[in-house]
């Protein structure tokens, strides 16, 4: 129950950012010749956000962001650094 609640709380920023980011702003991170959309839109699905959060806390390294440069530097930092380092610290202290 603890892992699930941590993953849900960690998913909240992903969902909020996905919903409040305007389409025009999100598309600025996608190259002009690309035929795909920004990966930030995947986080509108709460299950994708929970998966991303759990992946960060457990340091498995899997991501729902198919094209990582298209999510913006702030969210990329949040995904790549905050979750992975906190997840590693939790595992280190639990062992």
pLDDT digits (tens, 9 = 90+) for 3-26: 888 888 888 888 888 898 888 877
Residue 72 Rama label (left phi>0; alpha psi -120 to 50; beta): left
Q: Which of 8, 71, 13 is nearest to 41 (CA)?
A: 71
Decide: 83 and 57 in contact? Cβ < 8 Å: yes
User: What is the tens place of the pLDDT at every residue in 39-91?
Assistant: 778 888 999 888 888 887 777 767 767 666 667 667 666 665 566 566 666 66
């Amino acid at each position: 129950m603890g892992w699930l609640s941590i993953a849900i709380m960690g998913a909240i920023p992903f969902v909020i950012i996905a919903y409040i980011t305007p389409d025009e702003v999100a598309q600025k991170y996608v190259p002009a010749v690309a035929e795909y959309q920004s990966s930030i839109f995947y986080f509108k699905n709460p299950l994708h956000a929970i998966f991303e959060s759990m992946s960060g806390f457990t340091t498995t390294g899997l991501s729902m962001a198919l094209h990582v440069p298209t999510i913006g530097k702030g969210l990329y930092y949040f995904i790549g650094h905050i979750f992975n380092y906190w997840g590693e610290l939790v595992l280190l202290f639990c062992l």
